[in-house]
């Protein structure tokens, strides 16, 4: 369980900033179902100060007999750190990035209603940028290529970047005012998506901590059972200790210390293994974006503290049994 908590914490610290920083822009606005964005909404957003609006045009065309949504955008207006933007900026006319491509370059026949067919070269390697820019898009081409295939393709999504010094909350309020007459347009905040991811991972961490508590409680029962058996097997030893002058309180302290050491040794060993496994698991998930942070120290310390308390509680019944033993009965036990 410590391994799971560690993996979730490191994954959250590593992925959440990346999700926010590697989006094409700060906000996106679109109409559900891939429908065209109202021209008035596009114009209203463009009139807002401090906002840089980048349109994404898309159309459904026939690629080798299959209906495929193709999108286009000016990649120089997008966040240069976003996944796939570098490849999009190097994309030549007549070529496309695909979300379904394999590792080989291929040429496909593409046609649009009422237009003559043309060939389109699919670049090798898969890219997530088409779907990121436009929900449902499979291919991303240059604006010139899409204009040649489908002249006047509709704007279906806009991505909004902020000018330097523009506050995010102020920009969001400006967008809401500009789109007040277009309730069908849905605005998405990339920071909100990152926050949703963090909330999901935090809930998973909380669930794991609850399971860890159950595991510690069950382990406490095991420690208590072990000590009860130990008391029965060591009855003559306990009787001899009492006979040479050890008091009941000292015997109870001895058993409590044994329970504490047993619990703490198991907890330290499990924590060390869990930390190593958790870091390795998180590293395998975040290796492509960089692993940030380390173990959740407060949670680990809380788990160790809970283990100590459970160990002390596990010694209560065995200590009471020892306290009730008489010297004669203990020495004559089998």
Q: Please check the confidence at residue 289 and state whether its pLDDT lies above 60.
A: no
How high is the pLDDT of residue 163?
81
Q: Do the beta carbons of residue 327 and residue 243 sit within 8 Å? A: yes
- Other C-beta atoms within 10 Å of 81: how many? 12
Q: Do the beta carbons of residue 186 and residue 32 sit within 8 Å? A: yes
Which of 25, 133, 138 lies closest to 73, judged by CA? 133
Q: Do the beta carbons of residue 126 and residue 75 sit within 8 Å? A: no
Q: How sure is the predictor about 286, in pLDDT bands with cuts at 50, 70 and 90? A: low
Q: How far is CA 274 from CA 3, 195, 216, 271, 293, in A?
A: 4, 27, 14, 5, 16
Identify which of 171-180, 274-283, 314-323 has the greatest average pLDDT.
171-180
Which of 110, 99, 100, 123 lies closest to 67, judged by CA? 110
Question: What is the Cα–Cα distance from 167 to 163, expressed in whole angstroms?
Answer: 9
Question: What is the Cα–Cα distance from 131 to 69, expressed in whole angstroms?
Answer: 10
Q: Could you give the percent of the chain with pLDDT greater than 90?
A: 5
The DSSP bridge pattern shows strands 66-72 and 51-63 to be antiparallel
Q: Do the beta carbons of residue 58 and residue 137 sit within 8 Å? A: yes
Q: Please check the confidence at residue 324 and state whether its pLDDT lies above 60.
A: yes
Q: Please check the confidence at residue 36 and state whether its pLDDT lies above 70.
A: yes
How high is the pLDDT of residue 134?
87
pTM of the entire predicted model: 0.61
Backbone φ and ψ of 99, nearest 5°:
-85, -5
Which of 184, 185, 84 lies closest to 133, judged by CA? 84
Q: What is the number of H-type helices and E-type strands within the chain?
A: 12, 9
Question: What is the Cα–Cα distance from 252 to 227, expressed in whole angstroms?
Answer: 12
What's the rounded mean pLDDT across residues 56-83? 86
In this structure, what DSSP letter does residue 29 have?
E
SS3 (DSSP) at 289: coil
């Amino acid at each position: 369980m410590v391994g799971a908590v560690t993996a979730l914490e490191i994954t959250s610290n590593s992925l959440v900033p990346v999700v926010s920083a590697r989006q094409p822009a700060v906000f996106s606005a679109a109409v559900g179902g891939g429908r065209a964005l109202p021209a008035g909404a596009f114009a209203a957003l463009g009139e807002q100060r401090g906002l840089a609006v980048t349109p994404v045009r898309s159309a459904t065309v026939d690629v080798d007999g299959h209906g495929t949504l193709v999108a286009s955008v000016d990649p120089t207006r997008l966040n240069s750190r976003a996944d796939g933007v570098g490849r999009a900026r190097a994309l030549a006319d007549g070529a496309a990035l695909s979300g379904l491509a394999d590792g080989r370059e291929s040429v496909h026949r593409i046609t649009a209603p009422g237009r003559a067919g043309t060939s389109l070269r699919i670049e090798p390697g898969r890219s997530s940028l088409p779907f990121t820019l436009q929900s449902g898009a499979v291919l991303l081409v240059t604006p010139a290529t899409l204009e040649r295939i489908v002249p006047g393709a509709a704007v279906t999504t806009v991505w909004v970047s902020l000018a330097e010094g523009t506050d995010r909350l102020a920009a969001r309020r400006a967008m809401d005012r500009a789109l007040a007459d277009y309730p069908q347009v849905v605005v998405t905040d990339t920071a909100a998506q990152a926050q949703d991811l963090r909330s999901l991972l935090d809930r998973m961490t909380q669930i794991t901590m609850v399971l860890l508590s159950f595991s510690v409680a069950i382990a406490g029962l095991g420690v208590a059972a072990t000590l009860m058996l130990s008391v029965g097997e060591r009855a003559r030893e306990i009787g001899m200790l009492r006979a040479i002058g050890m008091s009941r309180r000292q015997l109870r302290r001895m058993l409590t210390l044994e329970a504490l050491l047993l619990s703490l040794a198991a907890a330290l060993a499990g924590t060390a293994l869990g930390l190593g496994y958790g870091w390795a698991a998180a590293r395998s998930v975040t290796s492509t974006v960089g692993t940030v942070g380390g173990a959740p120290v407060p949670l680990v310390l809380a788990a160790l503290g809970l283990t100590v308390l459970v160990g002390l509680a596990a010694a209560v019944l065995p200590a009471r049994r020892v306290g009730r033993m008489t010297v004669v009965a203990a020495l004559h036990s089998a």
